[in-house]
Structure 1
Amino acid sequence: MAKLKLDLHDIYNKGHLIDQELNNIIEEAVEKKIKTVEIIPGKGSGQLKKRVLKFLEQPEIKSQYHRIDKDSKNHGRIFVYFKK
């Protein structure tokens, strides 16, 4: 199963880059018909994870994927599942 992975550790404090990277990976997943994207905001204070979830909740983004899942074993990970 093809899967894309985005690790935000290196750009956690660069706001504009975060949205850009999230946008890029969503577009790539849709383009290449990838079923799962794993986003790693890391554990930290939880602010970055909140930002990622807020980004994913935008109507124009939300319409592109099927559902999101927070990893129950590792709260520093989010999975985005796309429609087949």
Structure 2
Amino acid sequence: MLTLDLHPIFRNNRDIELALRQAVFRARHTGEPLQIIHGKGTGRLRDRVLAFLGQKHIRSMYDHLEVDPAYPGRILVHFAPRP
């Protein structure tokens, strides 16, 4: 499982978008699930991550995502296996 921790860059919008984009492309290439750790906080970072993942061109890259009920500070993104 690939992991992206957004805690070190949570204040920089451009760095967040770049890190998310790179992680999604890497996970799509390997087919591994992607764990995005955004933390609990106020929920603004989670909303930003979900908005990014909801973009049409990004949404077409992954199979489904889930907010982990055991740890609401992380999102799991699952990719369909590559043939």
The TM-score bracket by the shorter chain reads over 0.9
1:12 matched to which residue of 2? 10
CA deviation string 1:12-37 (max 9, x = no partner): 11100000000000110112222x10
Gaps of 5+ in 1: none
Q: What TM-score comes out, normalization by structure 2 length?
A: 0.94
Q: Distance in 2 between matches of 1:79 and 1:58?
A: 16
Aligned to 1:51, what secondary structure does the other structure show? helix
CA deviation string 1:23-72 (max 9, x = no partner): 000110112222x1000011111000000000000010000000000010
1:80 matched to which residue of 2? 77
Residue 55 in structure 1 maps to residue 52 in structure 2:
yes
Q: Distance in 2 between matches of 1:66 and 1:60?
A: 13
Q: What TM-score comes out, normalization by structure 1 length?
A: 0.93
The number of residue pairs the alignment matches comes to 81
Letter in 2 for 1:44: G
Following superposition, the deviation at residue 80 of structure 1 comes to 0.1
Gaps of 5+ in 2: none
